[in-house]
């Protein structure tokens, strides 16, 4: 029986991971930056400009968004440490997407490098 780590390793063998040093350039060149973490993780902070599509709903969100349906759309994915993003990228490849990358080290590496983080504005009730 395969472990989750086995599945991630297999996915990473077929996915283009972008080193953190090249992540900002890859994001600028992409048509979409997708955060595949859970909603609560996204709400706590995310890479500026990212759209949210949790790993469990990614395929459905892609199918439901006309702007993301072209198979040559350039997408950069990320999650907390890069495992879910690798699985998501592998799934997108199976769907026929041609230009999918993930950020090596994920959001944790992004934050550790001191890169900008967006947080939703909460309403003030004072």
Residue 125 covered by a domain: no
Q: Tokens in use for 30?
A: 């992409």
pLDDT range class, residue 126, cuts 50, 70, 90? low
Res 125 pLDDT > 90: no
Instruction: Return the higher-pLDDT residue of 52 and 12.
Output: 52
Q: What's this model's pTM, rounded to 2 decimal places?
A: 0.91
> How distant is the alpha carbon of residue 36 from its chain centre?
5
Domain carrying residue 47: 4-111
Distance, CA of 86 to CA of 105 (rounded, Å): 11
Residue 122 covered by a domain: no
pLDDT range class, residue 14, cuts 50, 70, 90? confident
Mean pLDDT over each residue of the chain, to the nearest integer: 94
Q: Scan for tokens 């009730």, then name that residue.
A: 125
Q: What is the pLDDT of residue 46?
A: 97
Residue 59 covered by a domain: yes
Residue 38 covered by a domain: yes
Residue 124 covered by a domain: no
Residue 14 covered by a domain: yes
Q: Scan for tokens 């909460």, then name that residue.
A: 122
What is the count of structural domains for the chain?
1
Residue 121 covered by a domain: no
Residue 71 covered by a domain: yes
Distance, CA of 86 to CA of 77 (rounded, Å): 8
Q: Tokens in use for 98?
A: 């041609």
CATH code of residue 84: 3.40.250.10
Residues 36-90 have pLDDT tens digits of: 999 999 999 999 999 999 999 999 999 999 999 999 999 999 999 999 999 999 9
């Amino acid at each position: 029986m395969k472990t989750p780590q086995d599945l991630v390793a297999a996915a990473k063998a077929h996915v283009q991971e972008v080193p953190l040093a090249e992540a900002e350039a890859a994001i600028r060149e992409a048509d979409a930056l997708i955060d595949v973490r859970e909603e609560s993780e996204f709400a706590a902070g995310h890479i500026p400009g990212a759209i949210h599509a949790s790993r469990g709903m990614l395929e459905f969100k892609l199918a439901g968004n006309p702007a993301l349906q072209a198979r040559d759309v350039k997408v950069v994915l990320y999650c907390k440490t890069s495992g879910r993003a690798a699985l998501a990228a592998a799934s997108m490849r199976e769907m026929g997407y041609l230009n999918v990358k993930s950020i090596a080290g994920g959001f944790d590496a992004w934050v550790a490098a001191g890169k900008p983080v967006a947080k939703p504005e909460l309403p003030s009730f004072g």
